[in-house]
Amino acid sequence: MAPTMNVHSFDYGRIAFDLIDEFETLTSADAIVLRMRAVLAQFGYTSFLIASAPETVLNTPPIFLIDGWPRGWMEHYTRGNYFKDDPMVARCRQSVDPFEWSEVAYDSEQSPRADEVMRRAEDFKLKKGFVVPILRNHGSLSAVTMAGECPDFDARAKRAIHLIGLYAHAAACAIVNPVLEKQRQRILTEGEREVLLWTAAGKSSWEISVILNISEATVVWRIKQASTKLNAVNRTQAVVNAIRSSEIKL
């Protein structure tokens, strides 16, 4: 009998932030693949993918930024043109919240191609998965998805994976387009950086308002302004983008 994972034996937050620190030293796609696989294995995942596609052009194939899938699956996926029928892609277009593959419902009779995608994925040992959608204000759709035979879906594990996914995507983009990365400039105000730092520490808007002695409405407004400047659709993504662009340091 395979040993069961004790969800209390891991400090998921520390694992996530340690990986974030390491991402700063990784300079190639191969390095990201090796490090991500090692870290995701602690959560029960065996493979992953970081991809991007225009949100408004449904049939445009995705750009595979980092391919950490099993050997042969990406070739089969591309050759079969599975992207436009993949139920996970369809769900990504409807949600900014991470989700498990099992949460995506589809009718196998009415959508035989969607059923084929998922059945063929299982042939490559991609049985259970988790997706972190990444939506941007300029209309692009990205996602980090990972899978394994028995991943850990504990709530704390999923929160850590959400953070890891957002940051992994940012790191992948930096490697794919290093010139753009070097051109980044600090764009946040001191107040915006301050509220994001406390957000990264896990504080709610009300708690931040008490700490900084400002109104909760001001906290919310600063987070919203920072999110817009950082091209983020929620505060978690704003924190990740702020760390990645050196606006804040933990």
Q: What is the pTM of this model?
A: 0.75
pLDDT the model gives residue 104? 94
Segment 98-115 mean pLDDT? 92
Q: Is the pLDDT of residue 146 over 50?
A: yes
pLDDT the model gives residue 96? 79
pLDDT the model gives residue 43? 95
Q: Is the pLDDT of residue 6 over 60?
A: no
The rounded Cα 161 to chain-centroid distance in angstroms is: 7
Task: Of 37, 43, 7, give the one whose Cα is nearest residue 149.
Answer: 43
Q: Give CA–CA dist 60/7, Å, rounded.
A: 39
Q: Which single residue is written with the structure tokens 């730092």? A: 197
Q: Is the pLDDT of residue 225 over 90?
A: yes
Residue 64 identity (one-letter amino acid): F
pLDDT the model gives residue 94? 81
Q: Which fold has domain 186-244?
A: Arc Repressor Mutant, subunit A (1.10.10)
Where are the chain's structural domains? 7-180, 186-244
CATH architecture of 7-180: 2-Layer Sandwich (3.30)
Q: Is the pLDDT of residue 250 over 70?
A: no
Segment 196-224 mean pLDDT? 90
Contacts 24+ apart (CB under 8 A), 14-17: 15/39, 15/42, 15/160, 16/160, 16/161, 16/163, 16/164, 17/163, 17/250
Q: For 97, what's the count of Cα atoms within 13 Å in the CB-facing half-sphere?
A: 4
Which residue(s) pair with 47 in the sheet? 147
Q: Is the pLDDT of residue 137 over 80?
A: no
- 3-state SS assignment for residue 125: coil
Q: Give CA–CA dist 155/20, Å, rounded.
A: 20
Which residue(s) pair with 141 in the sheet? 53, 135
Q: Is the pLDDT of residue 218 over 80?
A: yes
Q: Give CA–CA dist 98/41, Å, rounded.
A: 19
Report DSSP state, residue 233: S
Segment 163-176 mean pLDDT? 85
